[in-house]
Amino acid sequence: MTTFVHTSDWQLGMTRRFLRHGADDRYAAARTDAIRAIGAVARETGAEFVVVAGDVFESNQVGRRVILQALEALRSVPVPVYLLPANHDPLTRASVYTAPVFTDHCPDHVHVVTTDDPIQVTPEVELVGAPWPAKRLAANPLHAVLDRLEPAAGIYRIALAHGAMDGPVEFPDSAAAINYNDVRSALLDKRIHYLALGDRHSYTLVGGDERIVYSGTPEVTAFRDPDPGYVNVVRLGPDGARSEKRRVGTWHFLESGFEISSRADADDCVRQIEALPDKPRTVLRLHLAGVVDLGLAALLQARFSHWEDLFAALEVDVARLHTAVPDDDPLWERFGGFAAKTVASLRDTVAAGGPDAETARDALLLLLAVTTDAAAMATPPPRNREAAP
């Protein structure tokens, strides 16, 4: 029996420009801290080594600071670590893995898989990697590896690869797809016993098979990732492979929707959002629909402003949230003179519809904000902010 940790898609050096108030620095630090968390998992589970199935770095052009911080974090991992170059950090002439800052400071127990030659990891385990020699390939290098392998005798053989699978979890946006049937064949005739995959950012047992696994990224990268934030603890024995996902991620990308047509609906929305834990490490995308009056709309805008200062990033979609502007609303009684004429003009624009109606509605909300008690009112959030993925 042998135990190891399978992880992938660290993409160290990744930036997220939509993050606010220093959250981008916290996010970058969390991606490096995940390496230490992986080391802790290895220690707790008695793992003998760690394999990283590609995209360790965001690119070959990451800065010196990113590389040094990654290597420093890797020093804390108590077992050998094997890094596979993939499409983000391929083995080109400008490879990050051949840069002096990497080679001069790389810990002795950290190994870059630069060829597809078998590596004897332990007396009973052999690792065969399929590194990417370029950012774009016509065929995944794993297939050349599988084609030349003979059935393993007296050892467990792990294949380490990166790319989309053209079977049960097809991911058509990726290049150099891996043929699912070829992998199944290699497992059946014992050429390999486990395939450690990278590229898909969500934890996935391909076809429900614990021997063909995408570990996913240890920290979420986008809303489209349905199950990120894990590593896979693998136990290989005579009965095959057993996979166990372990959470190491600390960030969350959450998407929520609410139908609001009353103060009670708005209060329920606020209660649920306020109850979310760890807001500084949460990116929130909020979809609102319904019809509200101006007073309720202004109060909601105040909440948006408040949440913007709490969450790592906030994106509010109000395309389906309509604000009613009735003629008899008592809110209009506060305006007189020049302000009354301005309000009347804006209300006419809203009533007429057209491309300026939304801007006029926001202007009315702003007028309510500056003429109403409370720091409870605020300017609506910018509508053209860069959206989170």
Distance CA 261, CA 284 (A): 22
Residue 354 has pLDDT above 90, yes or no: no
pTM (2 d.p.): 0.84
Give bridge partners of residue 282 from the DSSP assignment. Answer: 252
Residue 18 has pLDDT above 90, yes or no: no
DSSP codes of every residue in 146-211: HHHPPPP-SSEEEEEEES-BSSTT--TTSSSPBPHHHHHHHHHTTS-SEEEEES-SS-EEGGG-TT
Residue tagged 């395939």 (tokens)? 195
Query: What tens digit of pLDDT does each residue of 202-237 get?
Result: 999 999 999 999 999 999 999 998 999 999 999 999
Distant-in-sequence contacts of 255-259, Cβ < 8 A, 24+ apart: 255/223, 255/284, 255/285, 255/286, 255/287, 256/284, 256/285, 256/286, 256/287, 257/286, 257/287, 257/288, 257/289, 258/286, 258/287, 258/288, 258/289, 258/290, 259/289, 259/290
Which whole number is the average pLDDT over 84-99? 96
Residue 380 has pLDDT above 50, yes or no: no
Q: Which of 186, 180, 220, 190 is nearest to 202 (CA)?
A: 220
335 or 375, which is more confident: 335
Residue 386 has pLDDT above 80, yes or no: no
Residue 371 pLDDT: 59
